A = this chain, B = another copy of it.
Amino acid sequence: MIIADRETVLKTPELADVMRRIVGSKNVLSTLEDRICYSCDGSKQQYLPDIVAQPCTTQQVSKILCFAHEHNIPVYPRGAGSGLTGGAVPVMGGIVLDFSRMNRIMEIMPEDLTATVEPGVVTQTLQNEVARYKLFYPPDPASAAFSTIGGNVAECSGGITGLKYGVTRDYILALEIVLADGSVIHTGRKTLKSVTGYDLTRLFVGSEGTLGVFTKITVKLIPLPETVETLLAFFQTPADAIKTASQIVANNLLPRALEFIDKSSIDCIKAYNRAFKIPAETNAILLIDVDGRASSVTTESSLIEKIVVENHALEVTTAKNSQERNALWEVRRAISPALYNIAPFKINEDICVPRSQILEILERIADINERYPLLKVANFGHVGDGNIHVNVMYKDGKSQRAMAEGMIDEILHATVELGGTISGEHGIGNVKSAFVPLEIPPQELQIMRNIKQLLDPKGILNPAKIFTQTNNKQPLQ
């Protein structure tokens, strides 16, 4: 599964010629400046690709892979490059396949409750287009406004709607895939049920570009909920907030979103924007979306408000229209920029634990933090499905990076110990590949490696992702 010595293969000028013949001159980026733009992704690593190709058709993707396969050149499919675990960084050089030109919504079939799209369609664009037919594509990663459906399928993206609606894999019916050798296969059917043969579709969903490259994606849609209401509740203790979340579900309520924000995040938000009216004693926030038929949303929203109040909320605000809802969600959206304001460096973790273990993992993280007094931790995330984003922040990129990594190491160990997973929704990429054995025992991992070997024997597809590999190039920075 090792690429042959990369130094012997074609260099940028020769590669550019070949790519131009396949995708046309205007769809090839070969200057150093252009290649630098494609050298990094949301993980903030930087590895220079030899060339960037922007295919427009399945056939072009197939030709590129045929060529790359013959010449042992690594290929990195890339959506918006917003992934946080390095899924799109060209760690071994080679060809970046940028899908920004394959961004057509090919069909929306309201009667079939399906849509077929190219991988470069931005997720929110799909959501908006199907909404015109009163249809709903539920997976909603925080990046939906800019990340692409191809990237979402590759990473099996989750997001805020996971508790009620599941994740990307629950909405993918069929895929057109170009394999490592350039051959084109079709998995699944455009039907709501199908059990003919093994479930290849879901084997490819979440495979992070390491098994094949998606060129068409058929998604399942559901009717658009009639209405959405939002509640923002402030609590004096995290325990009250977590207990509220549990009691909501225990009372037969499945909110569309059930988001948790901890004290550190709140402090950052307050410092970032003093306009937010957050009561002084607030140590935890819950942000809750309820959707469905109007009559039922009203009932559920008041039931939730009752539970919130019973659990000693300091204050609760309800928003019924989209303007008011947006205002409440501003608090949640402010977290990311706010965190950068207090420390220039952060590692954004993505653990997920069984919901009964949320308080326990938060306590363990606090304990671990005590051993790293120079670092600051802020936790927020999708408490409804146990998916917490743990942000370890540090001020000095050189001296404190190792410290932050040590802390992450301890947090991931604690997570797995509690029955959790080291990646709820961000994927593994190369950023977390060293931690995979913590969660996946050798035999299961070997099965995965064997499947990789079966589908990509030369290892040209997104090499050094998911599985550890030691022959990466040195990063640029």
Contacts and interface: CB of A to CB of B under 8 A. Distances in A.
Nearest to A245: B111
A307 interface: no
A327 B454 CA distance: 53
Contacts of A441: 185-186
A440 interface: yes
Contacts of A169: 199, 202
A63 interface: no
A8 interface: no
Contacts of A167: 193
Interface string A337-361: 0000000000000001111100000
Contact of A198 (B189, B206, B423): B206
A418 to B, nearest CB: 10
A448 interface: yes
Interface stretch (A31-39, A393-401, A424-432, A468-476): A424-432
Nearest to A112: B354
Given A296-B293, A444-B200, A451-B454, A254 B223 contact: yes
A42 interface: no
Interface string A126-147: 0000000010000000000000
A45 interface: no
Given A250-B111, A454-B450, A423 B183 contact: no
Contacts of A422: 196
A185 B109 CA distance: 40
Contact of A199 (B202, B382, B443, B454): B202
Contacts of A109: 354, 356
A163 B189 contact: no
A356 B423 contact: no
A374 interface: no
Nearest to A254: B223
Nearest to A421: B194
Contacts of A252: 134, 223-224, 226
A455 B252 CA distance: 41
Contacts of A353: 191
A357 to B, nearest CB: 8
Contacts of A250: 110-111
Given A292-B296, A296-B295, A454 B443 contact: no
26 contacts: A112-B354, A112-B356, A112-B386, A113-B249, A134-B252, A163-B192, A187-B444, A191-B353, A191-B424, A192-B355, A192-B387, A193-B425, A194-B421, A195-B425, A197-B428, A197-B466, A198-B203, A198-B206, A198-B207, A198-B448, A199-B202, A200-B448, A202-B203, A292-B293, A293-B296, A451-B454
